[in-house]
Chains A and B, each alone.
Chain A
Amino acid sequence: MAVVGAGIVGMSAAHFLSRAGWQVTVYDAGVVASGATGSADGAVSVASKKPGPLMTLAVAAVKFYEQLVATGILVDEYLPRSTFVVASDHEELAVLERHAGELEAAGVPIRMLKGAALMAVIGAAAPTAIAAAEVQREGHAVGYRVVERLRQLGGFAIRRNCRVSGFESSNGCITGVMTEQGTEPADAVLLATGIGSMHFLAESGLIRPRKGQLIVTDRAGADSPHFPGPLMSCRYLVSKGSQPADSAVASRSLGLVIDPLRTGQFLIGGSREDRDDRETADADVVATLLRDAVALSPSLAQLRIIRVFSGLRAATRDGMPIVGHVGGAENLWIATGFEGDGICLGPMIGRLCQQMICGESPEQDISALDAARFGLTLAAAA
Chain B
Amino acid sequence: MSSPEVLVIGGGPAGVSAALELARAGIDVTLCEQGPRLGGAIHRQPDDPTQSVRVPRSHKQRWQAMSDELAASTVKVLCRHMFAGIEATGAVLLEDRIHGRLVTRRPAALVLAMGAIERVAPVPGWHLPGVVTVGGLQVMMKSTGRAPDGDVLIAGSGPLLVALAAQMASLGNAPVAVLERSTRLMSVSVIASLLRAPAYLWEAAGYLLTLARSGILPRRGAFVTAIAPRDGRLSVTTLDRHGRERQMLVDRVALHDGLLPNSNGTMAGQHGPFIVRAGDCREVLGGTAALADGRLAAHAVLAQIGKAVRATKVPAAILARERQAQAALNTLFDYSGRDPAQLPDETIICRCEGRTLGQLRSMLSGDDPVSAREIKLNGRFGMGACQGRFCAEWVASFVASQRADGSPPQASEIVGSRWPVKPVPIAAFVTLPPSHPSE
A and B from one complex: yes
Residues of A within 8 A of B (CB): 30-34, 38, 144-145, 148, 151, 158, 160, 217-218, 250, 252-254, 277, 279-284, 286-288, 290-291, 293-294, 300-309
Q: Are A158 and B368 in contact (CB under 8 A)?
A: yes
Known: A34-B373, A284-B434. 7 other contacts (CB 8 A): A284-B436, A290-B426, A291-B430, A301-B425, A307-B387, A307-B418, A308-B419
On chain B, the residues within 8 Å of A253 by CB distance are 439
Q: Mark B262-300, 1 if CB is under 8 A from A, else 0.
A: 000001010000000000000000000000000000000
Contact B430–A290 (Cβ < 8 Å): yes
Q: Name the CB-closest residue of B to A152.
A: B366
Report chain A residues within 8 Å CB of B378: 144-145, 148
Q: Is B202 an interface residue (CB 8 A)?
A: no
Chain B residues engaging chain A, CB cutoff 8 angstroms: 87-89, 91, 93, 102, 104, 267, 269, 368-371, 373-374, 377-378, 383-385, 387, 416, 418-420, 423-427, 429-430, 432, 434-436, 438-439
Give, as a whole number of angstroms, the nearest-CB distance from B386 to chain A: 9
- Say whether, besides A253-B439, A287-B102, A290-B430, A305 and B374 are in contact (CB < 8 Å): no
Cβ B426 vs Cβ A301 within 8 A? yes
Q: How far does the alpha carbon of A32 sit from the alpha carbon of B374 in the complex, in Å?
A: 7
**A281/B419 in contact, CB under 8 A:** yes
Q: How far is the CA of A22 from the CA of B385 in the complex (A)?
A: 43
Contact B87 A305 (CB under 8 A): no
Contact residues in B for A293 (Cβ distance below 8 Å):
426
Residues of A within 8 A of B423 (CB): 218, 304-306
In the complex with contacts A250-B439, A305-B423, A148-B374 CB distance below 8 A: yes
The answer to whether A33 touches B377 (Cβ under 8 A) is yes
- Report the Cα distance A254→B439, complex, angstroms: 8
Assess whether B429 is in contact with A287, with CB atoms less than 8 Å apart: yes
Asked if B430 and A277 make an inter-chain contact with CB atoms under 8 angstroms apart, the answer reads: no
Cross-chain contact B371 with A31 (CB below 8 angstroms): yes
- Pick the contact of B416: A32, A252, A307 (CB < 8 A): A307
Cβ–Cβ contact A288 & B438, under 8 A: yes
Asked if B93 contacts A304 (CB within 8 A), the reply is no
Most chain-A Cβ atoms within 10 A of its Cβ — which of B374, B436, B438? B374
A33-B374, A306-B385 in contact; A280/B88 too (CB < 8 A)? yes
In the complex, chain B residues whose CB is within 8 Å of the CB of A294: 426, 430
* Contact between B426 and A305, CB atoms less than 8 A apart: yes
B106 CB to nearest A CB, Å: 12
Q: Contact: A282 with B387, CB < 8 Å?
A: no
Q: From the candidates A30, A218, A252, A283, name the one contacting B432 in the complex (CB within 8 A).
A: A283
Are B374 and A31 in contact (CB-based, < 8 A)?
Answer: yes
Instruction: Output the nearest chain B residue to A144 by Cβ-Cβ distance.
Output: B377
A319 and B58 CA atoms in complex are apart in Å by: 69
Q: Across the interface, which residues of A come within 8 angstroms of B438, CB to CB? A: 288
List A contacts of B384 (CB < 8 A). Answer: 306
| Complex interface: chain A residues within 8 A of B374 (CB) | 31-33, 144, 148
A250 to chain B, nearest CB (A): 6
Residues of A within 8 A of B88 (CB): 277, 280-283
With the chains together, A294 CA to B431 CA distance in Å?
A: 11
A301, B434: Cα distance in complex, Å = 18
**9 A-B pairs with C-beta separation under 8 A:** A144-B378, A280-B88, A280-B269, A283-B91, A303-B426, A304-B424, A306-B384, A307-B383, A308-B419
Number of A-B contacts (CB under 8 A): 108
- The one of A144, A218, A288, A291 that contacts B385, using a Cβ cutoff of 8 Å: A218
Give the docked Cα–Cα distance between A354 and B281 (Å): 53
A160 and B426 within 8 A (CB):
no
Distance A199 CA – B433 CA, assembled complex (angstroms) = 41
By Cβ-Cβ distance, the 10 closest A-B pairs, closest first, are A280-B88, A282-B88, A31-B371, A304-B423, A287-B432, A283-B87, A301-B427, A144-B377, A148-B378, A306-B423
Task: Please give me the residue from chain B that is nearest to A145 by CB atom.
Answer: B378
Q: Which residues of A contact B436 (CB under 8 A)?
A: 284
Contact call A282/B87, Cβ cutoff below 8 A: yes
| Contact residue among B269, B371, B387, B430 (Cβ-Cβ distance under 8 Å from A32) | B371
Determine whether the beta carbon of A286 is less than 8 Å from that of B416: no
Interface centre among B368, B377, B420 (most CB of A within 10 A): B377
Given A252-B439, A288-B438, A294-B430, A282-B89 contact (CB < 8 Å): yes
Partner of A305, one of B89, B104, B373, B429: B429
Residues of A within 8 A of B91 (CB): 283
For B104, list chain A residues within 8 Å (CB): 283
Give the shortest distance, in Å, between B321 (CB) and chain A (any CB).
Answer: 40
Q: With both chains docked as a complex, state the minimum distance between the C-beta of B428 and any C-beta of chain A, in angstroms.
A: 9
Q: Shortest Cβ distance from A50 into chain B, in angstroms?
A: 20
Complex Cα distance A303/B426, Å?
6
Give every chain A residue within 8 A of B427 (Cβ-Cβ).
Answer: 301-302
Find out whether the CB atom of B371 lies under 8 angstroms from the CB atom of A217: no
Asked if A287 contacts B430 (CB within 8 A), the reply is yes
Chain B residues near A283: list those with CB within 8 A.
Answer: 87-89, 91, 93, 102, 104, 432
Residues of B within 8 A of A279 (CB): 267, 418
A307 CA / B89 CA spacing, docked (Å): 17
Residues of A within 8 A of B432 (CB): 283-284, 287
Q: Which residue of A lies closest to B371 (CB)?
A: A31
- Complex Cα–Cα for A340 and B269 (A): 27
CA gap between A252 and B435 in the complex, in Å: 14
> Nearest Cβ in chain B — how far from A217, in angstroms?
7
User: Is there contact, CB below 8 Å, between B387 and A151?
Assistant: no
- Chain A: which residue is nearest B435 at the CB level? A284
Q: How far is the CA of A282 from the CA of B271 in the complex (A)?
A: 12
Q: Which residues of A contact B420 (CB under 8 A)?
A: 305-308
Known A-B contacts A144-B378, A281-B419, A294-B430; A304 and B87 likewise in contact (beta carbons under 8 Å): no
Residue from A31, A144, A309 in contact with B418 in the complex, judged by beta carbons closer than 8 Å: A309
